[in-house]
A = this chain, B = another copy of it.
Amino acid sequence: MGISRKDLKQVIVFQNATDDDLNQIIQNSITRSLEEGEFFFLQGDPANYLYVLVNGQVKLLQTNPSGQQVNLRTIYPRQMFGALGAVREQADYPASAQALENSSALAIKSAFLHEMMETRPYLSFDLMKLMTSYIQEMQSRYRELATERVEQRIARALLRLTVQSGQKVDEGIDLAFSRQDLAEMSGTTLYTVSRVLADWERQGLIRAGREQIHITNPHGVVRIAEGLEK
């Protein structure tokens, strides 16, 4: 049930931590287990904890005033989320974190990690490395959203999911996401996603089912993502 030192060491940000550090972190944490659909935190909540996902799957999303959602990122086990609050004191979460399936995560007190970072350069440095990769990803996605067509962006979303799911690209990839999920990830509507997928299915690139997408021709999807098609 609980998380061990060994598990924690697999987390990128903690890879350079000493055993003693890890023990302290564990002592200042609690484990939270949520059912599918529940939220670890909501956009605007005070960011008192940062989380390390132990198992399950979590999506980070932003909601605009009129309720439309945008999917920022999907979190997989051993990844950290809610970390932005650990940096500034008294910050609020800039996004919400919802469990996509039954999930449990280690909740570390932000204030505690904050304190630790003051004396352990490796910690803020590694966390910063993580942040820079986020920035780069967000910048790229921003550019894509600003300059690319929907079809291309959906293809990119699928490929990103493929990479994150860690499956081999060789022969067929299975992904479990709804049209709505895809739409939120690529900044479009579920209707358009549905039409695009139907089209790809006709071309033999994928086989689509209920909350299920099987990519039969990854190379073809890559070509669309790169904008070589059309």
Contact = CB atoms under 8 A, between A and B. Distances in A.
A124 B87 CA distance: 11
Contacts of A136: 84, 94
Q: Chain A at the B interface: mostly helix, strand, loop or mixed? A: helix
Chain A interface size band reads 35 or more
Interface string A61-94: 0101110101010000000000010011000001
Nearest to A184: B146
A148 interface: yes
**Best-surrounded residue of A140, A143, A145 (most CB of chain B within 10 A):** A143
The oligomer's copy count stands at 2
B132 A84 contact: yes
A22 B186 CA distance: 44
A95 B140 CA distance: 9
B139 A62 contact: yes
Given A124-B125, A131-B135, A143 B87 contact: no
